[in-house]
Amino acid sequence: MADPQPTPGHPEREAPGGHPAPGLAAEVRQGTHDLANLLGIAANYLQFLEEDLDGVAGADEARGHLERISAAVDRATEVTRRLATAAVTPS
């Protein structure tokens, strides 16, 4: 099945002069907003899991996994912030 969204560089995605079309910026803003919300949910559940492991014997390995997941969520959150900033910053 064909992709219903035009690809970057497609005339429907670019305004005259090769700049992103205004609708694309709105899509990026909405997408980064949604992604930030999902990452916030993931961060909250990680915190719940960390609290659940408090006092559990032998949970060190699980805590290590949660720390790595938490670091990945933090990195993804930062990338999302940069994308959101780029979407509203005129070039």
pLDDT tens digits along 62-88: 999 999 999 999 999 999 999 999 888
Residue 15 lies in a domain: no
The DSSP 8-state label assigned to residue 9 in this structure reads T
In a domain, 77, yes or no: yes
- Rounded distance, CA 89 to CA 23, Å? 15
Count: domains in the chain? 1
Region of residue 27 (phi > 0: left; psi between -120 and 50: alpha; otherwise: beta): alpha
Given a cut of 50, whether residue 2 has pLDDT beyond it is: no
pLDDT at 6 over 60: no
In contact, 70 and 46? CB cutoff 8 Å: yes
Confidence at residue 11, expressed as pLDDT on a 0 to 100 scale: 47
Domain carrying residue 82:
21-51+59-88
Residue 14 covered by a domain: no
pTM value is: 0.70
